[in-house]
C-alpha cells in the first residue's frame, strides 16, 4: 500500500485506519457499501506531520507542552490546566490552517477566502 498525503474517500477501507484515522477509513467503507457519503478526501498522518513540521508548529506545540510540564502539570489529573493548554495549542494552529499541504504555501480560493480543512473555504 502506497502511503500518500491525500486519499479520496472511495480509496479508503478499514485497512487505512492507521494512515487516516478510523472515522475517515470508515467513511471509505460506507462508500464501498454504496451508501451516500459526500464526495471528499482525507489527509493522512503523513500530511499532518508535513504540515506541523513545515509550519513550525511541531516545535511550538512541544514548547507549549514542555513549559506546562516544567511548571508541574500532571497530565492525568490537572484537567483545567490541560484544557487551558489545549486552547493555547489550538490558538497556535488555527492561523496556520491556510497552509496548502500539496503546494507547501498558503492558497486563496477565487472567492478570496482561504482554503482549509476538508476542502472547504474557511475564514
Which DSSP category does 115 fall into? E
98 in the same domain as 63: yes
Q: What is the pLDDT of residue 104?
A: 52
Q: The cell 491556510 sits on which residue?
A: 98
| Residue 115 predicted with pLDDT over 50 | no
In a shared domain, residues 33 and 59:
no
56 shares a domain with 22 = no
Question: CA triplet 57, 101, 30: central angle to 5 degrees?
Answer: 110
pLDDT more than 70, % of the chain: 79
How many domains does one find in the chain?
Answer: 2
Question: The domain containing residue 20 runs over which residues?
Answer: 1-43
Check if the beta carbon of residue 28 is closer than 8 Å to that of residue 9: yes
Are 96 and 75 contained in the same domain? yes
Mean pLDDT for the stretch of residues 58-77:
93
Contacts of 86 (CB under 8 A, 6+ apart): none
Grid coordinates of 33: 457499501
Question: For the segment 32-45, what is each residue's pLDDT rounded down to a tens digit?
Answer: 999 999 889 999 99
Query: 28 in a domain, yes or no?
Result: yes
Q: Is the predicted pLDDT of residue 120 greater than 90, yes or no? A: no
* Shared-domain flag, residues 102 and 54: yes
Which residues touch 8 (CB under 8 Å, ≥6 apart)? 40, 41
DSSP H helices, 4-115, are 17-20, 22-32, 45-54, 57-70, 79-93
Amino acid at each position: 500500500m502506497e502511503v500518500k498525503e491525500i486519499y479520496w474517500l472511495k480509496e479508503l477501507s478499514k485497512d487505512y485506519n492507521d494512515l487516516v484515522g478510523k472515522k475517515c477509513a470508515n467513511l471509505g467503507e460506507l462508500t464501498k457499501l454504496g451508501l451516500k457519503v459526500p464526495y471528499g478526501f482525507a489527509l493522512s498522518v503523513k500530511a499532518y506531520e508535513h504540515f506541523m513540521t513545515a509550519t513550525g508548529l511541531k516545535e511550538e506545540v512541544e514548547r507549549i507542552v514542555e513549559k506546562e510540564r516544567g511548571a508541574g502539570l500532571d497530565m492525568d489529573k490537572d484537567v483545567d490546566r490541560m484544557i487551558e493548554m489545549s486552547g493555547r495549542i489550538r490558538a497556535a494552529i488555527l492561523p496556520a490552517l491556510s497552509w496548502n499541504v500539496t503546494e507547501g504555501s498558503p492558497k486563496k480560493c477565487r472567492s478570496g477566502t482561504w482554503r482549509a480543512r476538508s476542502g472547504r473555504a474557511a475564514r
